A and B are shown apart, each in its own frame.
Chain A
Amino acid sequence: MSGPIQGHRLAATFAQTKAENRAALITFATVGYPTPADTADVVRALLAGGSDVVELGIPFSDPLADGATIQHASQIALEQGTTLKMAFDVVRDLRAEGVETPLVFMGYYNPFLHYGLERVVTEAGEIGLDGFIVPDLPPEEGQEFGTLARSHDLDLIPLLAPTSTESRIQANVQAGSGFVYCVSLTGVTGAREQLSATLPDFLGRVREHTDLPLAVGFGVSRPEHVATIAQLAEGVVSASALINVLDDTPAARRYAALTDLVREMREATAHGQ
């Protein structure tokens, strides 16, 4: 069932968080992890903690931009037969429950390509998905997918790295929409102790080329990290740290612990501290 703002949920969410003078908190769940049956409950736990956007990680056999945590989660999910179709089913179920929070797929290109790009965007549009983050699809390769996504009011969210040159920043932000995913460091995903010192400079370079909201991810594992980034950007992404909670907490307390960490992060999102 389509809500009244489908296709523009991401823009509406960033407008809302801006009005509340805070950054949007973007959280992550690997579809099929810990088990396929758990996925919707994991997302519900993320939403209960106050997530503004949820990324659903589509597992892939060869996740070359991911660190050990998400690699492992992807592998376990695939061993249990997780498919892209299951990810669509999770979104459909959540929308049927009345969830209006923006939901995006984060996944490598090949499973989408294999499913059929036209079929992916058509189904995504029908069930109320909001967009895609595809870490191995730079704008020079993503024109076809981008055009198809836009025709269904879906955002193809651009990714930028500290190594991105001015011309690449420009090409990426022009090709994408929704928000700009700024990779905080030169490296793969995964929880880290400290944030990169060069982040403010990097975000400054990106801002010269776009009015889209900037969200910072990779290495964001603690509420303190969220608080620091909230002073610099319109969004904060945390992923591996949330999977670590699922791994480190006894099953009975798993969802409560996840909601607690998300809530602490959400409370750290205020701008101007």
Chain B
Amino acid sequence: MATIPSLTIRGQFGDYGGRYVPETVIPALEELEEAYAGLADDTAFQDELDVLLDRYVGRPTPIYHAARLSAEIGGAQMYLKREDLAHTGAHKINNALGQALLAKRIGRTRIIAETGAGQHGVATAAACAMLGLECIVYMGEVDVHRQTLNVFRMKLLGATVIPVMSGSRTLKDAINETIRDWVTNVETTHYIIGSVVGPHPYPTIVRDLQSIIGREAREQCLAQFGRLPDVVVACVGGGSNAIGIFHPFVDDTEVRLVGVEAAGHGIESGEHAATLVAGTPGTLHGAKSYLLQDGDGQIYEPHSISAGLDYPGVGPEHSYLKDLGRAEYVGVTDEQALEGFQHLCRTEGIIPALEPAHAMYHAAQLASALPQDQIVLINLSGRGDKDMTIVAEGLGVEL
């Protein structure tokens, strides 16, 4: 395979990415880009972040051999990158903490963020509490009711949670409302976006902050096996945990990269969130990327059992990797994700979040067809405590 061309061309990933936002916030994006570029040589910033990642987040997270699961499947060896062990229970803290530090560095004391399931909101609220920053989280009214525990957690951590009543009252509307707040308060406020989406430089910043997942995993594989994994699998909503683990492997062309999207009730049902599998390119939330859109270019409401994957867009770098053929993307249904979820619980004593349960299901399918000496690395991006009521409902259990 030929060398991959440079992934970042003036904020674009091939034809994807860019800065499709109102003029009002563009100077702030330029300022952010400049401040971020300055951090490359700022060892004091990097040291501060490294110490917090070590002592506050609990990094590095281990890779764990799911031996019983692998034996039951009878194929390749499955290894889990344990992001579920990170502080606040998911990989989201890697980005929230780095951006909160960056906000402090550029003199912004008011932080805004959107959240769907609440994991990014909780991570941002925790980082802001620890750094002494004001934190406002926008959350679709539908999600506020679906995720009452995470709303309470954010409030305990000192954040203000604002229910969003516009549009479909879910994640995409929460992002719209956060951008509206930013357009209005741009001079005092930093927007901590929760995934590798949004206008340049956000997809790059979030990618870089989440790449610690893949850098650690790559080193851990080399140290433990003396070689790289054969396949890396991660779930994709906006795509931050997937880019985080994929990115350090992109130039290792012998490593197969597989992104797993939410196929909801099935692609053919139209009720899914499989943007890369079934969408088409367009512009949403500041970037050009694959989208779920109708024949008039209107964005339609996705469906997934997992609130963290329930998003009609996807990070532009994933669109680029898809078109290049460097990564492949597949869909896993609600029902299949519940199967992957239960399988991991029973064989390994680990309760995953519903998002990586999608990746677990597909990884098991892949592993079963591969020889036993092959290695499949799965990003276990979060823990499942937040999903107990949804899983119980999905399994028809009354709590």
Contact = CB atoms under 8 A, between A and B. Distances in A.
Contacts of A71: 166-167
Interface residues of A, number: 41
A160 interface: yes
B285 A62 contact: yes
A112 B19 CA distance: 17
A188 B26 CA distance: 14
Interface string A112-124: 1111000000000
A137 B26 CA distance: 11
Contacts of B20: 109, 136-138, 141
Nearest to A82: B296
A196 B397 CA distance: 57
Given A64-B285, A186-B183, A186-B187, A114 B24 contact: no
A187 B183 contact: yes
A112 B296 CA distance: 9
A62 B286 contact: no
A140 interface: yes
A225 B288 CA distance: 37
B298 A186 contact: no
B297 A163 contact: no
A214 interface: no
Contacts of B166: 68, 71, 75
A60 B295 CA distance: 13
Contacts of B270: none
Interface in A140-175: 140-141, 159-165, 168, 172
Contacts of B299: 61-62, 110
B24 A183 contact: yes
B278 to A, nearest CB: 16
A84 interface: yes
Interface string A100-118: 0000000011111111000
Contacts of B70: none
A138 B175 CA distance: 20
A223 interface: no
B167 to A, nearest CB: 7
A30 B211 CA distance: 44
Contacts of A64: 21-22, 175-176, 179-180, 183, 285
Interface string B91-131: 00000000000000000000000000000000000000000
A110 B183 contact: no
Contact of A183 (B19, B23, B167, B282): B23
B24 A163 contact: yes
Given A63-B176, A188-B180, A110 B283 contact: yes
A194 to B, nearest CB: 15
Contact of A110 (B167, B293, B300): B293
A61 B64 CA distance: 43
Can you list the 10 inter-chain pairs with the closest CB atoms, starting with the nearest?
A114-B297, A161-B24, A111-B297, A187-B184, A61-B298, A65-B22, A61-B299, A64-B176, A64-B179, A110-B297
Interface of B: 18-28, 30, 166-167, 172-173, 175-176, 179-180, 183-187, 282-286, 291, 293, 295-300
Given A114-B296, A168-B23, 14 more contacts: A62-B167, A66-B180, A75-B166, A108-B283, A110-B291, A110-B299, A136-B283, A140-B19, A161-B22, A163-B25, A163-B28, A163-B186, A168-B27, A187-B183
